[in-house]
Chains A and B, each alone.
Chain A
Amino acid sequence: MKYITLLLLFSLTGCKFPKVVSAFYAKEVCSCLFVEKQTETYCHEYGKQIIPIWTKEIDLKNRKVKAWGLWESTEASFISSRSGCQIVK
């Protein structure tokens, strides 16, 4: 029920906030893993927010992090050692 209320609220106000949940996790966990070279446990803790993500996909081989939350998904990818990670979609 609380998610339906939130969805209605975000739809009516045109608020882009739902995207933040997956975007923050994908981008910051990508940087944490592939730039800072921290452990997956540490990075998952670091990426936690008040509203939790629903699910995630961490591709260690291709250095990508995809997250889902509040009906939105975001993918962040490691670009290079100088340029780190970036939200790609």
Chain B
Amino acid sequence: MKTLLLFFIIFQAHAASHKWSYKGPTEKGINPQKWQSFLKYAESKDSGHSTNALFIYLDGHVIKHSTYNGFKKNQPHRQWSISKSFTSALVGIAIQKNIITLETPVSKFYSLDKNTKYVPNLKDLLGMSSGLDWNEGYEGSPLKSNVIAMLYTQGFKDMATYTANRPSKYIPGEHFYYSSGETNLIMGMLKKSLGIHDYASFPWTALFDPLEIKTATWEKDKSGTFVGSSYLYMSPEDLAKFGLLYLNKGKFQGKKILDKKWVEFSYTLAPPFYKMKFKNKEKVETYGAQWWLNLDLPNENNTRPYPGLPTDAYLALGHHGQLLAIVPSKKLIIVRNGADTDKKLDKVKFFKLLMEALP
């Protein structure tokens, strides 16, 4: 009887573990010449960028899982700002558990600059529209950059507090400005809502363990807040599992992890895009709730950043060429990790060549 029970437990554990199904590109009806053109661009170093991994999933099967430059398949890779979309997922789960709401004001947990006229809430932060003054420059403008100051100098001990103390510049919800500080403020609010003990294990209990993500490291600042903006590491395959969760509208292995409504909210155009006036409307990168979108601007045509990708695509993008793209209409997940320290990957070209090859 004991043996039977043990067998049953082992069988259950085995049945529950996720396994990818693989098929060759030709079996999936992919154009071989166009597929080679895509790979030539994506894999080659001749173009100046440096691809470390590619993982592509199409309608039930992995069609590409390769690593380059000595990088191993199960090696954790830095994901930079892809971390932001994981932060969004954690917020979604916390909302499901009634721990926090979209309307929770920042001021419930953090003192704002004394001259601040407006109080942003969690929804404003998710849509990068807190109105707090910020400079997201990296190597190009290191002296003025708030993100560099936050990560390495004035802010590294407590990044949420550093961000909350920035002066307000716009009415919350009315002006989009991509700010890593806002994501870390979200993470700080999550920490204070959950309490430091539950918070420390929350990414694992709520997300990584149910997704069978085994390679994750999420670095914290000195105050114990996860650096939600930038410091998540995992293997490309584990990142694809997160993509599969969203492709399946919040379910993984048939089990609900995220509300379908949260997934839909994640790729809904953030409110400021209906209010802002754009001088140059070409290739405006639209945004949802810590996810980049490929939507045209409201009442405009062909302003989307990646003309080769369908408009329902949504993306998590990170420094040095990290990308996770989900294309529901094609049942497609694209993962690319890289170290583009010299020349950036041309994402427009990358997506165009890939989509031309697919059936």
Contacts and interface: CB of A to CB of B under 8 A. Distances in A.
B142 interface: yes
A81 B219 contact: no
Interface of A: 15-17, 19-20, 23-24, 27, 31-32, 35-37, 39, 42, 45-46, 48-50, 79, 81-87
Interface of B: 70, 75-78, 139, 142-143, 148-149, 151-154, 156, 204, 216-222, 231, 233, 339, 341
Contacts, number: 68
Contacts of B143: 15, 17
10 contacts: A19-B152, A31-B78, A31-B219, A31-B231, A31-B233, A37-B75, A83-B220, A84-B233, A86-B221, A87-B222
A48 B341 CA distance: 9
A81 B153 contact: no
In this complex, the member of B75, B78, B341 whose beta carbon has the largest number of chain A beta carbons within 10 angstroms is: B78
Contacts of A23: 152-153, 156
In this complex, the member of B78, B142, B153 whose beta carbon has the largest number of chain A beta carbons within 10 angstroms is: B153
A37 B220 CA distance: 19
Given A82-B204, A84-B217, A87-B222, 8 more contacts: A16-B154, A17-B142, A20-B153, A31-B231, A35-B217, A48-B341, A81-B217, A82-B218
A86 B219 contact: yes
In this complex, the member of B76, B143, B152 whose beta carbon has the largest number of chain A beta carbons within 10 angstroms is: B152
A17 B149 CA distance: 8
